[in-house]
Structure 1
Amino acid sequence: MIRLPELGGGVREYAPRTEPLTLNGGGPLASRTVYSAAHVVADPYADTTPDSPAAVDWDATLAFRRHLWSHGLGVAEAMDTAQRGMGLDWAGAAELIRRSAAEAKAVGGRIACGVGTDQLTAPADLAAVRKAYEEQLALVEETGSRAILMASRALAATAQGPDDYLDLYGHLLRQASEPVILHWLGPMFDPALDGYWGSPDLDAATETFLEVIAAHPDKVDGIKVSLLDAGREVALRRRLPEGVRCYTGDDFHYPELIAGDEQGFSHALLGIFDPLAALAADAVRTLDTGDVDGFRATLDPTVALSRHLFRAPTRFYKTGVVLLAWLAGHQDHFTMVGGLQSARSLPHLAKAYELADGLGLFPDPALAEDRMRSLLKVHGGLA
């Protein structure tokens, strides 16, 4: 038994699993294209402060990407899960992109990399925003990776209306050498992105977003939608030009969106598939056989964990993701870039452990329990 602090106060005993979940494994995923947005592993021995440039443990970071590839998932690199704009600056992200792209080539892994404007550290005009996007797009294309055009805080702060978005994205898409993924990250993930696409009204913003795609369908591989609104995603998905994919970024409703309906389905680009990699891949392989019920039976029980990790303020979900990576043995410590391991309460982390353990996510449940005990003792005084 292990004593866990509860979200509402108090402490209770919990009996951890003794065996991990048994998964079938298998070959490449066939019916859906699935990316996991991957976290970075900090160097715990670097002498840093929250304002210092990120110190990354490159060996552990790349090893985790090989873990994702080994299960048939693609890696969505240098996204918000990797703490872009929350500890990882552009210099660190650029190095991450270069290293991960080289590793992907070496092992034959699928990779797509985030293109943003986070080298801009002061208020900027539209010309500066465009130049920043171009610099990052050029780097990603040089590595041979697919580009993901991420939402830009600088653009959100600078644009005067929908026309500025249409002009800037049109320019970027025309010069992109290969089709890109467009990323719409909602304000629940980043409050600085409120009003993206030129309006705080999501219906109006959707029309601008679709206008961008309709003008350049040959340059858009797909869209990644992170609005935590399943109905809105389905409606948007049904209006996409033929050949443009929808990659769900909805960490609350992903099983139903990936399963789809009579009019289509979503592929996936999800932060929650960082801790769920093996189980998610197993579920998609079940879906590959046409067994939708089996897919849902595997993936539906994971939603409670995902909703817990992504609870408001949603942007701090990375803390739970890294906790689970440590408990699962993918890294040797619970230190995060920018000290973000402090962003969630001890009861929150204890609940994340309990939910993940209940799903059988830990390859070595005894190791996970021992590490959780050490965290509880140091930070909560629980013996």
Structure 2
Amino acid sequence: MAALTLPRNGGGLESYSIRNAPLPMPAPGSAPAFNRVAYAAAHVVADPLADNDPWLDIAVDWDRTLAFRHYLWDLGLGIAEAMDTAQRGMGLDWPTAKALIGRALAGAKERPGAVIACGAGTDHLPPGPGVTVADVIAAYEQQIEAVEGLGGRVILMASRALAAVAKGPDDYARVYGRILAQVKQPVILHWLGEMFDPALAGYWGDADHNRAMDTCLAVIRDNATKVDGIKISLLSKEKEIAMRRRLPQGVRMYTGDDFNYAELIAGDDQGYSDALLGIFDAIAPAASAGLARLAAGDEAGFHAILAPTVPLSRHIFKAPTRFYKTGVVFLAYLNGLQDHFLMIGGQQSTRSLPHLAELFRLADAARVLRDPDLAAQRMRKVLAVGGVE
């Protein structure tokens, strides 16, 4: 196997040899079937040749961005489009997100059975002292109209503007009740915790997640026919399970727990979680193979494949959790799914060289380096830029 020199976690360098063969990919045209709904929140590929100011301007490589979505569809996964994994709120603005949604929906139409849902929020409305609850409602309505007008299904994203203006749970009930009454088809709600976005602290009107959960559940119960499910991203399996057991019948729990997804998807004797995960972008072959085993009744096989990916995911999503997108894009680069390690907004700089080296080791352990020789070659290039020859 390929060998290279990597930074050690405690400082210094060590020789490292790739130890594991990659997981096999399904044959072309033979995407597996699952007994869980599984969305991968997909990243965007920056255009490295754009002559712009990367911290200020947005340049997307549309061809490679769309090709990555077809790669995920080939593995049987749905696409959660224009979510935080696509750097929504951290480089991807609403006009570019809208363009991304339109292109992805057009790509889905080329593939019978392709599953896609698209993020609609209020990110074109900057929080400020003059913003009102009515402004938040209007902003949601604008983005939902755009997604539905393109034929898309809505993932209702959490709103920084609402978190800033709301005076308590009643304001959340007012906003969500108004919006859910209007949507054309049931939506997926998204409760994104403050570890992913500090501006969302106190969402649902309370800093205590358990009391906030009561408000969220009341909104869901009052609008159950308009809610397909809810994705919660609180990185707490206990809170997810507690909420899952209280959901109205027919409303899905989509795990957004990138620390504990395997056991939450497997479930227990009282239920299970479906999946809408950023880590599925990075570990797509493992997610696909594991879910296929679960659908075949082989829960032990599911865990055998997914368990080694959990340390990798916990590393990618370690605090500051909002910088996880860097690890997702880095793995796409290592795996030949894009030709560079650059991100919109210059976000490739948010993780250190030792962090990326440990990611490489854990990706090897998880068997998600598709071509070990290519991965080692590309890792060496990144190391060389950092002064490690």
- The within-5 A match list for 1:184-195 is 184-195=191-202
> Secondary structure of the residue that 1:107 maps to in structure 2?
coil
Q: Give the aligned partner of residue 66 of structure 1.
A: 70
Bigger Cα displacement from structure 2, 224-233 vs 49-58: 49-58
For the residue of structure 1 that corresponds to 2:301, the secondary structure is helix
Distance 2:289 2:191 in 1: 28
Residues in 1 aligned to 2:93 and 2:326: alpha-carbon distance in whole angstroms: 18
In structure 2, C-alpha distance between the alignment counterparts of 1:244 and 1:147, rounded to whole Å:
15
Q: Which of 4, 11, 16 is residue 9 of structure 1 equivalent to? A: 11
Note the 1:196-215 alignment, pairs <5 A: 196-215=203-222
The structural deviation recorded for 1:360 is: 2.2
Task: For residues 182-239 of structure 1, give each alpha carbon's deviation from its aligned partner in whole angstroms, at most 9, with x where no partner exists.
Answer: 0000000000000000000111100000000000110000000100000110010011
1:130 — aligned with what? 137
The separation in 1 between residues aligned to 2:312 and 2:22, in whole angstroms, is 16
Deviations 1:161-187 (A, max 9, x none): 000000000000000010000000000
Runs of at least 4 residues off by over 3 Å: 23-28
Could you say if the C-alpha distance between residues 367 and 202 of structure 1 is closer, same or farther in structure 2, counting changes exceeding 3 Å? same
For the 8 Å contact 2:308–2:365, the answer to whether it is kept is no
Give the residue type in structure 2 aligned to 1:3: T
Q: Secondary structure at the match of 1:274?
A: helix
**Distance in 1 between the 2:224 and 2:309 partners?**
34
Task: Flag the 1:373–1:173 CA change in 2: closer, same or farther, 3 A.
Answer: same
The partner residue of 2:123 within 118, 126, 129 is 118
Q: Indicate whether 1:382 and 2:384 are aligned.
A: no
1:48 is matched with: 52
Once residues 102 and 42 of structure 1 are traced to their aligned partners in structure 2, the CA distance between those partners, rounded to angstroms, is 20
Match of 2:319 in 1: 312
Any residues of structure 2 matched to 1:30-109 within 5 Å, and which?
30-108=34-112, 109=114
| Cα separation, 2, equivalents of 1:130 and 1:145 | 19
Q: Following the alignment from structure 1 to structure 2, what is the Cα–Cα distance between the partners of residues 362 and 309?
A: 15
Identity over the aligned pairs, expressed in percent?
59
User: What is the deviation of 1:23?
Assistant: 4.8
Q: Is the 8 A contact 1:249 1:269 kept in 2?
A: yes
Q: Which runs of 5+ in 2 are unaligned?
A: none
**Does the CA-based 8 Å contact 1:18-1:366 persist in structure 2?**
no
Could you tell me whether the CA contact under 8 Å between 1:225 and 1:247 is conserved in 2? yes
Q: Deviations over 1:298-338 (max 9, x none)?
A: 10111000000000000000000000000000000001000
- For the residue of structure 1 that corresponds to 2:125, the secondary structure is coil
Alignment partner, residue 253 of structure 1: 260
How far did residue 121 of structure 1 move?
2.7
Q: 1:120 Cα deviation (Å)?
A: 1.1
Deviation at 1:18, TM superposition (A): 7.0
Q: 1:231 aligns with which of 229, 238, 252?
A: 238
Moved more, 107-116 or 328-337: 107-116
If the length of structure 1 is used for normalisation, what is the TM-score?
0.97
Q: Is the 8 A contact 2:80 2:118 kept in 1?
A: yes
2:174 paired residue among 161, 167, 172:
167
- 1:319 and 1:182 mapped to 2: Cα distance? 25
Residues 80-118 of structure 1, C-alpha deviations (whole Å, 9 max, x = no match)? 000001000111111001110111111231000001101
Of the structure 1 ranges 162-171 and 292-301, higher mean CA displacement relative to structure 2 is found in 292-301
Mapping 1:178-189, distance limit 5 Å: 178-189=185-196
> Over aligned residues, Cα RMSD in angstroms?
1.2
Q: Is the 8 A contact 1:17 1:360 kept in 2?
A: no
Residues matched between the structures, number: 382
For 1:261 and 1:289, the matched residues in 2 are separated by: 17
Equivalent residue letter for 2:232: V
Query: Is this contact kept in 2: 1:125–1:158, CA < 8 A?
Result: yes
Q: What amino acid sits opposite 2:9 in the alignment?
A: L
Task: Return the offset for 1:249.
Answer: 0.3
**Structure 2 CA distance, aligned partners of 1:18 and 1:31?**
28
CA offset digits 1:341-367 (Å, max 9, x no partner): 000000001111111122221221111
Q: Secondary structure at the match of 1:72?
A: coil
Which of 236, 240, 243 is the matching residue for 2:250?
243
Instruction: Give 1:47 shift.
Output: 2.2
Gaps of 5+ in 1: none
Name the aligned partner's letter for residue 388 of structure 2. L
